[in-house]
Structure 1
Amino acid sequence: MGILDWTILCATLLFIVGYGVWKTKGSKNVDDYVRGGRQAKWWTIGLSVMATQASAITFLSTPGQAFHDGMGFVQFYFGLPIAMIIICLVFVPLYHRLKVYTAYEFLETRFDLKTRSLAAILFLVQRGLAAGITIFAPSIILSAVLGWDLRTLNIIIGILVIIYTVSGGTRAVSVTQKQQMFIIMLGMFVTFFFILGSLPADINLSKALKIAGASDKLNILDFSFNTESRYTFWSGITGGLFLALAYFGTDQSQVQRYLSGKSIRESQLGLVFNGMLKIPMQFFILLVGVMVFVFYQYNPAPLNFNPAATQAVMNSDVAPRYIELNKRHEELGVDKKMAQDKFSAAISRKEYDAIMQAKLEIININSKDSTNRAVAKSLIKEADSVAETNDKDYVFIHFILNNLPKGLIGLLLAVILSAAMSSTASELNALGTITALDLYKRNKKEDKSDEHYVLASKGFTLLWGVIAIFIACVASLFDNLIQLVNIIGSIFYGNVLGIFLLAFFFKFVKGNAVFFAALVTQILIIVLYYNLIHIYPSGQEKLGYLWLNFIGSALVISLALLFECFDRLLKKPPITST
């Protein structure tokens, strides 16, 4: 990184923090601090909702996901537009009519305090873990690639977010996320067109997509009913729908974004805006990853993209074997480029037989490449049993640092850190609010002033910021970070969504039945995850994790209905004969 990169990176981050503090200073009551005074316009809400979901993990992991596995991950979002419609029709009017500060206030009105507290605690557990991961994700990757100290990075990112989130609350999160989304999308578009311009002169966008298609990177839709597959059309339209309903409808980090809306209509338009743009945005980010794949068909790619793993194996006894494997990998890279040239020429001549022959050659080379990479991972593991062999999360950052020009590197690093800050800010804002209002205020016997609860919200936000930094410092890398966040959500979200669906549509069910059903469901979902998903290698689960959202919702509803019926039977007076 040069001086220009450092200047762009530091100026961007300092501007976001300074702007957030300056624009939102002086919140003196709970309504201003928690709901931003309910003054947000629909475009602010829409961008804030998108920025909350689009963490640094999205921009680090998603291109790597596409590089290795293609575009199929976009199916994960297919249920989102349907979820937005349901939330606009059911959730938003109810929350605005009740004038709630948090989603869980409604549960006490409908059921009782213990159900509200349980839902709030489930949220705090899963979102507290996620907040740590959204800090940890960019930190561990940047530390491995740039050689920066991991804990120092965790602390720097955490402190930057804490400064403006504690200072300005919800409004600070919303106003900074508009700038962050602009920086994020600018960086991704610039990268896309840079890659396109860096390909050989005869490779235009159409040919680049055909090259990606020859390696099965453009297989978007999978209509199979295979529950073991992580991403299919059906898992996206069902499990993805339930996950989106739970996330956008019951997760305070998202609910707080549209509770700040000036009216019901503004909130609804903001969510519709998100529903219309989220899939195209995710599609484009995956497409950037596919373009990175095409770029490496014509340029040398490392055997493993994680530099820390490569260093570990090169400093071990198995280094000679790894060097020999890397030599074969480089020779295969030359063959790969020649095969792509043949394929491109055949496309230009429109010779079907030559196209199919070149495609078969590419498939054969890809198979050898996959074998070499698998052997490399085994050698890395042999050299260092704790080294991270999975390099999906390192693909995009490796491309940025080794191929982009000066200045653009700083912009892309600013994209990654801005995304980390935007998501973490929403999470800390929500965690502080839930702790202050759903637990502290609701269980405090004496009344306190508005200023007291604003200070309490700020204090709990600061506390959760410290906890998130701590979690980031002790976390460990997973198969793929974007999947880790979604898995954590899937373990908890289905249960919480089921509680809200019971509240909306099953008026005869009471608090005790829901409370105990939710407890039993959460235990069963954790057991189900551990036995059918966690113990299997990546991609080999007996049940795709997205299905946990549907199962959790269905299970808590079924158990609550059963418990309620059983309770009524016990309370029913016996029939006496005369």
Structure 2
Amino acid sequence: MNVSTLDIGIIVGYLVAIIALGIIVGFRKNTTTSQLFLSGRSMTWPVIGISLFCANISSIHLVGLAAGGFGDGMPVGNFEWGASFCLIILGLVFAPFYFRSKLSTLPEYVERRYSPTTRTILGIIFILSALLVHIGISLYAGAELMEKFFGIDVITAIVLMAGLSAVYTVLGGLRAVMITNVVQVVILLAGAITLTYLAWQALGEQKGITTYAELKNAVSSLSAEKGENISPTVLQGIWNENGELNKYSWLCVLVGYPILGIWYWCTDQTIVQNVLAAKTEKDGRDGAIFGGFLKILPVFCMVLPGMMAYVLYRDEIGSEKNDTLMVLMEKLLQPGFLGLFAAGLLAALMSTVAAALNSIATLASTDVLKRLRPDTPDKTLVWFGRIAAIVVVLLAMAWSTQGGKFPSIFDAINQIPMMFAPAITTIFLGGVFWKRGTKQAAIATMVFNIVVGVLYMMAVLVDNPIFTETQWVADFVSIPFMLVGGIFFGLCLITYIVTSLATPAPAEANIKGLVWDSPLAFLKEGKITGITDPRVMALILLIIMAVLYYIM
């Protein structure tokens, strides 16, 4: 791709400015752990909502959602709109416990609810998930992007992106991450919306398409002509024309997404640390709901352009659907705008990596060093966290070079969590809703999921006759990964319930304030204070989502 001097200048200028901003707003000579890892618990709801949105939008999502819109159609949008429902759960169900407990990390919650051993296992899982998914695969996606745009080889691009993200994260901490996110999300959305507008204009000029109904008809016609399975609607049927399960059918989404979504949006340290940094409990809850409103946008400015590209450039993109975004940029953006959107892509990548690095620094300091040496001074904890972040980013750089072994980037970020997400979702839901859940059940559930999850990933990735020539294994691997998540969740739930009933119940005093008194207690707590009440805002969001699903 030809990149003008103006575009390069915009990109370089942006990188310098955003790193400088992060260091200026976040760096303090005598930084405390609260300031570095949780921004001094000073964030208000708009910043929290934007940071939740931006921590999730990386180059993976920009490339993946456009590619998904091109290769699968609108059902990919369920990954974005499903997040709105999960953020409602975060704001109403989990955030009150997290904030009132003054947690620094989520493993602290499971220690209080279950046991120190549970906290240790969960802390290790969180660090590994951040390394493997949030940082490793993000760096690979960004490197692929840099290679296609600027001709930089993948290894060099990985080193460059990791280094830039680490600088302002290690020096500035969560405050730097959250404040720069506000700037970056503006650039990101401006670029995505501009590209969507230009793609829509091109549809009218080149294909005579001026309405969404006409676009859906064009997608259906072209898909049938090419013998492909592209759905123009959000809710896709269970079976395709060949009698195979659609991997993004309404059934797969209904069964599998809540498991991934609750793990990611309600229990993952990288995401929830934004809520832990809230100034007040209401800021934390409102910020989560606000993030749910923001998650409506990517379907229109990230998935929809992919579907438009299918009509505009189907033959040019061909089977290389991961090139969808780059083709749109090359065809539609003028010099200057191309640099702006490239800066937005880099912003998205750096946001995800930076948020993950900060969560690792927090976990390493709070869940490792401070537990081993409770009297460790704040200054030592801060530096230990920074060193841990540097070590992990180096490991993630090595892992990121393996990203090409997955069928697609979008599959990778959703299949890898199957090794642990069902168990974590189980123990957190059981933890807040069922007083009978025990520490033995939490440990057994996590160990069980890790064992079967690792075996599943080996069957997916390892080219070995044990997996490839064993029929039932091959049949299981062929099941859409969203349904696999549902199967694992069901097994984890059985493990959790049976083990809990077979072991002594926790003492009431030990779990007081950590479990809701009844399943609907989170809706009944306190009087509704008006339209700004989180419960009212959640209801408004649910109504909007219902209308959108009906229309789309």
Moved more, 548-557 or 20-29: 548-557
Structure 1 contact 63–290 (Cα < 8 Å) conserved: yes
Shift of 1:256: 0.4
Shift of 1:470: 2.3
Shift of 1:467: 1.9
Task: Measure the CA separation in 2 of the matches of 1:477 and 1:416.
Answer: 23
User: Which of these residues, 338, 354, 358, is aligned with residue 429 of structure 1?
Assistant: 358
User: Which of these residues, 212, 218, 221, is aligned with residue 211 of structure 1?
Assistant: 218
Task: Measure the CA separation in 2 of the matches of 1:119 and 1:554.
Answer: 20
Task: Measure the CA separation in 2 of the matches of 1:75 and 1:234.
Answer: 12
Task: Measure the CA separation in 1 of the matches of 2:391 and 2:461.
Answer: 33
Task: Measure the CA separation in 1 of the matches of 2:76 and 2:403.
Answer: 25
Aligned to 1:248: 265
Shift of 1:201: 6.6
Aligned to 1:411: 340
User: Which of these residues, 175, 197, 219, is aligned with residue 193 of structure 1?
Assistant: 197
Distance 1:533 1:562, change over 3 A: farther
User: Which of these residues, 262, 272, 285, is aligned with residue 279 of structure 2?
Assistant: 262
Task: Measure the CA separation in 2 of the matches of 1:145 and 1:181.
Answer: 21
Moved more, 477-486 or 47-56: 477-486
Matched AA of 2:419: I
Aligned to 1:353: none
Distance 1:296 1:517, change over 3 A: closer
Matches within 5 A, 1:353-502: 391-444=320-373, 446-502=374-430
Give the secondary structure class of the aligned counterpart of 1:543. Answer: coil
Task: Measure the CA separation in 2 of the matches of 1:411 and 1:74.
Answer: 25
Aligned to 2:523: none
Matched AA of 2:499: F
Aligned to 2:448: 520
Task: Measure the CA separation in 2 of the matches of 1:402 and 1:79.
Answer: 31
Aligned to 1:162: 166
Shift of 1:430: 0.8
Shift of 1:495: 1.1
Moved more, 12-21 or 234-243: 234-243
Moved more, 556-565 or 38-47: 556-565
Task: Measure the CA separation in 2 of the matches of 1:13 and 1:439.
Answer: 33
Structure 2 contact 6–335 (Cα < 8 Å) conserved: yes
Residue 53 in structure 1 maps to residue 60 in structure 2: no
Task: Measure the CA separation in 1 of the matches of 2:198 and 2:300.
Answer: 18
Tell me the number of residue pairs that the alignment of Structure 1 and Structure 2 aligns. Answer: 480
Shift of 1:144: 4.2
Structure 1 contact 513–560 (Cα < 8 Å) conserved: yes
Task: Measure the CA separation in 1 of the matches of 2:235 and 2:124.
Answer: 37
Structure 1 contact 45–258 (Cα < 8 Å) conserved: yes
Distance 1:205 1:21, change over 3 A: farther
Matched AA of 2:101: L
Moved more, 417-426 or 457-466: 457-466
Matched AA of 1:179: V
Shift of 1:36: 0.7
Give the secondary structure class of the aligned counterpart of 2:401. Answer: helix
Shift of 1:533: 9.7
Residue 560 in structure 1 maps to residue 496 in structure 2: yes
Shift of 1:391: 1.8
Alignment identity in percent? Answer: 24
Structure 1 contact 230–539 (Cα < 8 Å) conserved: no
User: Which of these residues, 151, 163, 167, is aligned with residue 155 of structure 2?
Assistant: 151
Distance 1:394 1:41, change over 3 A: same
Task: Measure the CA separation in 1 of the matches of 2:349 and 2:299.
Answer: 17
Structure 1 contact 51–177 (Cα < 8 Å) conserved: yes
Shift of 1:475: 3.6
Moved more, 466-475 or 41-50: 466-475
Structure 1 contact 225–234 (Cα < 8 Å) conserved: no
Distance 1:551 1:208, change over 3 A: closer
Task: Measure the CA separation in 1 of the matches of 2:260 and 2:312.
Answer: 34
Structure 2 contact 26–176 (Cα < 8 Å) conserved: yes
Shift of 1:212: 3.0
Structure 2 contact 256–485 (Cα < 8 Å) conserved: yes
Shift of 1:18: 1.0
Task: Measure the CA separation in 2 of the matches of 1:42 and 1:157.
Answer: 29
Matches within 5 A, 1:27-38: 28-38=31-41
Residue 230 in structure 1 maps to residue 247 in structure 2: yes
Matched AA of 1:224: I
Shift of 1:429: 0.9
Residue 140 in structure 1 maps to residue 136 in structure 2: no
Matches within 5 A, 1:89-100: 89-100=92-103
Shift of 1:66: 1.3
Backbone CA RMSD of aligned residues:
2.7
Matched AA of 2:153: D
Task: Measure the CA separation in 2 of the matches of 1:474 and 1:158.
Answer: 16
Structure 1 contact 533–545 (Cα < 8 Å) conserved: no
Structure 2 contact 357–393 (Cα < 8 Å) conserved: yes
Give the secondary structure class of the aligned counterpart of 2:480. Answer: coil
Structure 1 contact 514–556 (Cα < 8 Å) conserved: no
Distance 1:8 1:237, change over 3 A: same
Matches within 5 A, 1:291-330: 291-296=308-313, 301-302=315-316, 305=317
Matched AA of 1:434: L
Matched AA of 2:67: G
Structure 2 contact 81–295 (Cα < 8 Å) conserved: no
Aligned to 1:13: 15
Aligned to 2:288: 271
Structure 2 contact 80–298 (Cα < 8 Å) conserved: no
Aligned to 1:3: 5
Structure 1 contact 187–415 (Cα < 8 Å) conserved: yes
Residue 84 in structure 1 maps to residue 87 in structure 2: yes
Shift of 1:195: 2.3
Task: Measure the CA separation in 1 of the matches of 2:442 and 2:145.
Answer: 42
Moved more, 98-107 or 556-565: 556-565
Task: Measure the CA separation in 2 of the matches of 1:558 and 1:509.
Answer: 12
Task: Measure the CA separation in 2 of the matches of 1:224 and 1:202.
Answer: 31
Matched AA of 2:310: F
Aligned to 2:518: none
Residue 220 in structure 1 maps to residue 234 in structure 2: yes
Structure 1 contact 63–286 (Cα < 8 Å) conserved: yes
Task: Measure the CA separation in 1 of the matches of 2:474 and 2:487.
Answer: 21
Relative to the length of structure 2, the TM-score reads 0.81
* Larger radius of gyration between Structure 1 and Structure 2: 1
